[in-house]
Chain A
Amino acid sequence: MAAPFIDLPWGIILILLPLAAAMAAFLWPSMAKAVGLVTAVAVVVAVVGLGWQLLDHGLYRHAIGGWGAPLGIELYADGLSLLMLMATALVGFAVSLYAAAYFKAEDAARFWPLWLVLLGALNALFLAADIFNLYVTLELVGLAAVALAALTGSATALGAAMRYLLANLLASLAYLLGVALLYHGFGSVDIAILATRIAPAPVAFAALGLITTALLLKTALFPLHFWLPPAHASAPAPVSALLSALVVKASFYILLRLWLELFAPLGAGAGIDALLGLLGAAAVLWGSVQALRQSRLKLLVAYSTVAQIGYLFLAFPLALASSVAVWSAVAYLALAHALAKAAMFLAAGNLLRFGGHDRIADLDRAVQRLPLTTAAFALAGVSIMGLPPSGGFVGKWLLLEAALTQGRWGLALVMILGGLLAAAYVFKVLGYAFTPAAVAHKSTAVPASMEWAALLLALAAILLGFMAPLLLPLLGIGEPFGANGAGP
């Protein structure tokens, strides 16, 4: 019974199905919504199938059409890829549910093809086995994301999208230059092969510098975050959710994987890990303070993303001494943030549609007028603050444990302080959700599916707090988190 199901080429389905669906949605706009929803469900099924395969056979490697490296395209999946694919499938499903009610007519016809391309590109990125395919998929993700960010067509959104695009293209070219150098220096683009060959030569350091900087720009690590808040805040709510939850994680995933398998020994020697930790700490504090200062809800949530990305980088200086625990913590934090931040943006979208504005001080008794949405925002907030029980708490606990074991008090204090600041900005919103506004506003009804989509993601972020015994072993499939520890 299980065997035929297990043996389907899930990796390929994950890439081709959304791309084919995007084409269909583009050609037949009237069917776009149906195609999109079916694909979102199918992707969830395919990820489950791939996970099953991984548990059964261990690592997944597949040379498309029988062409292997160096000319062909190989797919590769381990625990880390699977986790990212799971996040994509889950967030993608909820956002699709939400978008089905959110977008009407022309907007829908534009949204679905772009989102399905993005979905396929994200899946391809998480399954890519070589650094050049990572470049291609990253570029696809970036272009689809920019187009989505510009969807409303307002001058603000177009300006933000333009800035986003320029930052993206610059980063892509720097990354490509790094790829060229690595290929020149070590004769391969396959990550596994490069891992066995890489040596501390000047060309390796030049590539490390170019690739890391490029990916930091795409991931919006402080101080390269300038493009993120306007782009994420001016996009339509479902797009903001996708950008903050998944697109930023895509470039972070590449950085994480390359760091784990290629750069860790080089970077630690050159003190780059310490620098990344420092920037991460600055991002946590700066992003949180900026979030606290915002009077618009969507900008607050966007700056919160800047802060939460900082957390991911606090791990780099800790990784040398206890790599498996630290990288597991980072993967967990990334997953938790994806779910929680998507929930927050969707909830913010509901509040925006309901009141026609997103001024925090005028939320006007949202707690009784939109209880499910407020609950979603609050539960997602719990995970963002890193309070128990939530996925955010698990990640923060593991990271804190590593920091204190190594006596890194500065990092530990940043983690604690970041949590408190997060609580301050989350409860700033929730406090105003209880009070009435000075003047009454008109309100628009919010479809139930939009409320439930937000709540579903928030509940998933909370539930993640109990899933560590299941998910951490899953992360252990394959090289980076396996028994061998990080890198070669």
Chain B
Amino acid sequence: MNWDGWIPPLLLASSLLPGLIIFTLAEEQVRLRTLLNLGGALVKLALVGWMLWGVYHGHHYEMRLALLPNLELVLRADPLALLFITLSAVLWLVTTVYAIGYLEGSPHRSRFFGFFSLCVTATVGVALAGNLITFLIFYELLTLATYPLIVHRGTEAARRAGQSYLAYTLGGGALLLLGTVWLYTLTGTLEFTPQGILDNLGAEHHPTLIMIFILLIAGLGVKAALVPLHGWLPQAMVAPAPVSALLHAVAVVKAGAFGIMRVVYDIFGIEFAAGLGVLRPLAWLAAVTVFYGSLRALFQDDLKRRLAFSTISQVAYIILGVAIVGPLATIGGLVHLVHQGLMKITLFFCAGNLAETLGIHKVSEMDGVGRRMPWTMAAFTVGVFGMIGAPPVAGFISKWYLGLGALEADQGWVLVVLAGSSLLNAAYFLPILHRAWFRQPPESWPKERSFGRQETAWMLLLPPLLTAAMALAVGLLATLPFSPLEWARLVAQREFSQP
């Protein structure tokens, strides 16, 4: 008997079941809840490790379940899926530790962790989806499961942020649904297939396909926070820090970016899409988003909002990598999916630490904070250099491949975008470092909590240190097997007919 087909559903169950059980727990059952949280995260990580090894050795992990006439729920772990799943699984574990520390003593933790687990389940489902309808199902589930986390604090501001978040994401979901059904009426299949499913459609269908592409990208672009569909992201920052860190910096925006990858690579096929002429406008849109996000970030004093606008800009790199047609650019986009996640989550963890420990929410309050919290700010510094693209941190690798890809595809203008955005990144991040390390600390911090000899609780400190170390490691060790870069190469090979 071959058990490979059961691994994808198990992967979902490893966060779904703990989540459902956690809902039923009383507030004070801290130990059991922690055990379930960490146990689920570890089991998921183990399963992911197993599958990485298996896929590398040619195993096929797929599960199918009839859903509608001629349509199935398909869960499949192909290399692209695993890239995203590995990122989510690793960061889920780290963020769970962080969230346990961050929310210690705050109310309604069972509800929080329950929905947190559901979000991770939905994210993994998005990654595992083997066709567009399965993707759609988990994509909408992700929207629904994140809503309670955004309004978690129950304030009027949180409620409003939640409404705005839904207006964007459910609107996007509706466009995605429309595009998906329309596509289905043309093709009769929605299966994700390397190099796409549209080869046999004649030229008379091209105008329709362009419309469908626009619908799908608009639907996915909301979560990926492409300009002008990005408005929800800065508002969603009212959520607790772990939510901003994992969900908004990683899961939700990545679900959008990942969906764009699936649509371009595995529904349209990158070469077919290039032939349709839809990728050039997408590249421009991504470039505009890169600049817009950076420019807005420059003027934010609220640290989390500055990071949010930075996310908008950074996620657009991934889309840029997709839209510059060529294997090298594809590798750059794919690998940035992982790299941006590692770096941005580090920055959000650090921002959370500053808020939790010292009550600092604004950039202007960060003078001299490096002396008070050296370890946190060290991790922050690594993240910042990664974002700017300085070697040897991970971000450098992404930008390098994006640049090479642009040259290979004869699109020199992208280099201007890359250089310009790196300058802007430096312009909005380096002043923070300057303040933190070289200015005098104030007499007292806005709202300081003492943690004895440590700068903050170890459960808050460990996660950013770990992710910062990983951001360094994937940059330094990029050529080793199983590094994100090597894995991205493996994925890219499948998507181009001529390597």
Direct chain A–B contact by Cβ atoms under 8 Å: yes
> Is B363's CB within 8 Å of the partner chain A?
no
Question: Bound state CA distance, A371 and B155, in angstroms?
Answer: 18
| Nearest CB in chain B to that of A423: its residue | B170
The residue in chain A whose Cβ has the minimal distance to the Cβ of B150 is A434
Stretch in contact with the other chain, from A56-64, A153-161, A179-187, A395-403: A395-403
Cβ contacts under 8 Å, B136 to chain A? 388
Q: Which residues of A contact B162 (CB under 8 A)?
A: 427, 431, 434
B residues sitting closer than 8 Å to A (CB atoms) are 23, 65-69, 108, 111, 136-137, 140-141, 144, 147-148, 151-152, 154-156, 158-159, 162-163, 166-167, 170-171, 173-174, 177-178, 181-182, 184-185
- Which among A387, A432, A469 is the interface contact of B159 at CB below 8 angstroms? A432
Is B67 touching A434 in the complex (CB atoms < 8 A)? no
A contact residues around B166 at 8 Å (CB): 423, 427
Q: When the two chains form their complex, are residues A469 and B67 in contact, meaning their CB atoms are under 8 A apart?
A: yes
CB-CB nearest in chain A for B69: A472
**Contact: A397 with B181, CB < 8 Å?**
yes
Kindly state whether residue A320 has any CB partner on chain B within 8 Å. Answer: no
A394 to B68, CA, bound (A): 7
Contact call A416/B174, Cβ cutoff below 8 A: yes
A274 at the interface (CB under 8 A from B): no
Across the interface, which residues of B come within 8 angstroms of A385, CB to CB?
Answer: 170
- Bound-state CA distance A419–B171 (Å) is 10
Instruction: Say yes or no: is A368 at the interface (Cβ < 8 Å to chain B).
Output: yes
Which residue of B67, B111, B167 contacts A468 across the interface (Cβ within 8 Å)? B67
CB distance from B112 to the nearest CB of A (A): 11
Cβ–Cβ < 8 Å partners of B111 in chain A: 367-368, 371
For window 410-468 of chain A, which residues contact chain B by CB distance below 8 Å?
412, 416, 419-420, 423-424, 427-428, 430-432, 434-436, 466, 468
Chain B's closest residue to A375 (CB) is B23
What's the A-B contact tally at a CB cutoff of 8 Å? 82
* Chain B residues positioned under 8 Å from A387 (CB to CB): 140, 144, 170, 173
Chain A's closest residue to B182 (CB) is A404
Which of B23, B141, B163 is close to A431, meaning CB atoms less than 8 Å apart? Answer: B163
A434–B158 contact, CB under 8 A?
Answer: yes
Given contacts A325-B69, A388-B136, contact A401 B185 (CB under 8 A): yes
A228→B136 CA distance, assembly (Å): 35
**A-B complex: 5 closest residue pairs judged by Cβ atoms:** A469-B66, A388-B137, A434-B154, A434-B151, A431-B159
> How far apart are the CA atoms of A466 and B137 in the complex, in Å?
12
CB of A405 within 8 A of chain B? yes
Tell which of A365, A400, A405, A466 touches B154, judged by Cβ atoms closer than 8 Å. A365
Report yes or no: B181 in contact with A401, Cβ–Cβ below 8 A: yes
Q: Which residues of A contact B171 (CB under 8 A)?
A: 420
Residues in B with CB closer than 8 Å to A365 are 154
A-B contact pairs, 22 of them (CB 8 A): A367-B111, A367-B154, A371-B23, A371-B111, A387-B170, A387-B173, A388-B140, A389-B137, A397-B68, A401-B185, A404-B181, A404-B182, A412-B178, A419-B174, A423-B166, A427-B147, A428-B163, A434-B151, A434-B158, A434-B159, A435-B154, A468-B68
CA distance A385 to B68 in the complex (A): 18
A423 to B69, CA, bound (A): 26
Question: Given the complex of chains A and B, what is the CA–CA distance between A404 and B186 in angstroms?
Answer: 10
Q: Is the CB of A400 within 8 A of B170?
A: no
**Chain A residue, CB-CB nearest to B173:** A387
A469 to B181, CA, bound (A): 19
Known contacts A432-B159, A435-B156, A368 near B108 by CB under 8 Å: yes
In the complex, the chain B residue whose C-beta lies closest to that of A394 is B68
> Which of B65, B156, B163, B177 has a CB less than 8 Å from the CB of A416?
B177
List, in ascending order, chain B residues with CB within 8 A of A432's CB: 159
Q: Does more than half of chain B's interface fall in helix, strand or loop, or is it mixed?
A: helix
Cβ of A382 < 8 Å from any Cβ of B? yes
- Closest chain-B Cβ to A176's Cβ sits at a distance in Å of 39
Query: Nearest Cβ distance between residue B172 and chain A, in whole angstroms?
Result: 11
In the complex, which residue of chain A has the Cβ closest to the Cβ of B134? A388
| Residues of chain B lying within 8 A (CB to CB) of residue A431 | 151, 159, 162-163
**Given A387-B173, A432-B159, A466-B65, 8 additional A-B pairs, CB 8 A:** A388-B136, A398-B69, A400-B181, A419-B174, A427-B163, A434-B148, A435-B156, A435-B158
Residue of B nearest to A386 (CB): B177
CA distance A412 to B111 in the complex (A): 37
Q: How far is the CA of A382 from the CA of B145 in the complex (A)?
A: 12
The distance in angstroms between the C-alpha atoms of A419 and B137, with both chains bound, is 15
Complex alpha-carbon distance, A435 and B178, angstroms: 33
Q: Please list the residues of chain A having a beta carbon within 8 angstroms of any beta carbon in chain B.
A: 325, 365, 367-368, 371, 382, 385, 387-389, 394, 397-398, 400-401, 404-405, 412, 416, 419-420, 423-424, 427-428, 430-432, 434-436, 466, 468-469, 472
- Contact partners of B174 in chain A: CB under 8 A: 416, 419-420
Considering the chains assembled together, what is the distance between the CA atoms of A228 and B210 in angstroms? 44
Give the distance to chain B from A378, nearest Cβ to Cβ, in Å: 8
Contacts of B137 in A (CB 8 A): 388-389
Is B68's CB under 8 angstroms from A405's CB? Answer: no
With A and B bound together, what is the CA distance between A155 and B141 in angstroms?
44
- Given A434-B154, A434-B159, A469-B67, the answer on whether A382 and B177 have CB atoms closer than 8 Å is no
**Nearest Cβ distance between residue A373 and chain B, in whole angstroms?**
14
A residues in contact with B185, CB < 8 Å: 401, 404-405
A469 — which chain B residues lie within 8 A by C-beta?
66-68
Residues of B within 8 A of A423 (CB): 166, 170
Tell me the minimal C-beta distance from A201 to chain B in angstroms.
38
Q: How far is the CB of B239 from chain A (nearest CB, A)?
A: 12
Q: CA of A181 to CA of B420 in the docked complex: distance in angstroms?
A: 80
Cβ of A424: which chain B residues have Cβ within 8 Å of it? 167
C-alpha gap A412/B182 in the complex (Å): 10
Q: Hey, which chain B residues are within 8 Å of A472, CB to CB?
A: 69
* A375 smallest CB distance to B (angstroms): 8
Residue of B nearest to A406 (CB): B185
Q: Do A401 and B184 contact each other (CB < 8 Å), given the known contacts A412-B178, A416-B177, A469-B67?
A: yes
- Chain B hits for A371, CB < 8 A: 23, 111
Q: Which residue of A lies closest to B170 (CB)?
A: A423
Contact of B170 among A401, A420, A436, A466 (CB under 8 A): A420
Q: Which residue of A lies closest to B108 (CB)?
A: A368
Cα of A397 to Cα of B181 in the assembled complex, Å: 7
| Assembled-state Cα–Cα distance A428/B299 (Å) | 33
Return A469 CB to nearest CB of chain B, in Å.
4
Bound: A368/B114 CA distance, A = 13
Contacting residues, chain A, for B152 (C-beta < 8 A): 434
Complex CA gap A343/B59 in Å reads 44
B155 cross-chain contacts in A, Cβ below 8 A: 435
- Contact (A398, B173) CB under 8 Å given A387-B144, A432-B159: no
Inside 8 A of A382's CB, which chain B residues have their CB?
A: 144
Chain A residue numbers with a CB within 8 Å of B65 are 466
State whether A436 touches B154 (Cβ < 8 A): yes
Give the docked Cα–Cα distance between A419 and B166 (Å): 13
B492 to chain A, nearest CB (A): 31
Q: Nearest residue in B to A324 (C-beta to C-beta)? A: B69
Residues of A within 8 Å of B159, CB to CB, are 431-432, 434-435
Q: What is the CB-to-nearest-CB distance from A108 to chain B, in angstroms, rounded to a whole number?
A: 32
Give the residues in chain A near B173, CB-CB below 8 Å.
387
Closest B residue, CB atoms, query A468: B68
Complex-state Cα separation, A455 to B343, whole angstroms: 42
Query: Please, how many angstroms separate the alpha-carbon atoms of A371 and B22 in the complex?
Result: 13
Decide: A388 and B184 in contact? CB cutoff 8 A.
Answer: no
Report how far A450 CA is from B194 CA in the complex, Å.
51
Q: In the bound complex, what is the Cα–Cα distance between A436 and B155 (angstroms)?
A: 8
In the complex, which residues of chain B have a beta carbon less than 8 angstroms from the beta carbon of A430? 147
| B27 to A: closest C-beta gap in Å | 10
- Chain B residues, Cβ within 8 Å of A427: 147, 162-163, 166
**For residue B167, which residues in chain A have a CB less than 8 angstroms away from its CB?**
424
Q: If A387-B140, A389-B137, A431-B159 touch, does A416 touch B178 (CB 8 Å cutoff)?
A: yes
CA separation between A469 and B148, bound complex, in Å? 32
Residue of B nearest to A416 (CB): B174
Which residues of chain B are within 8 angstroms of A435 by Cβ–Cβ distance? 154-156, 158-159
Nearest chain A residue, comparing its CB with the CB of B175: A416
Residues of chain A contacted by B148 (CB below 8 angstroms): 367, 434
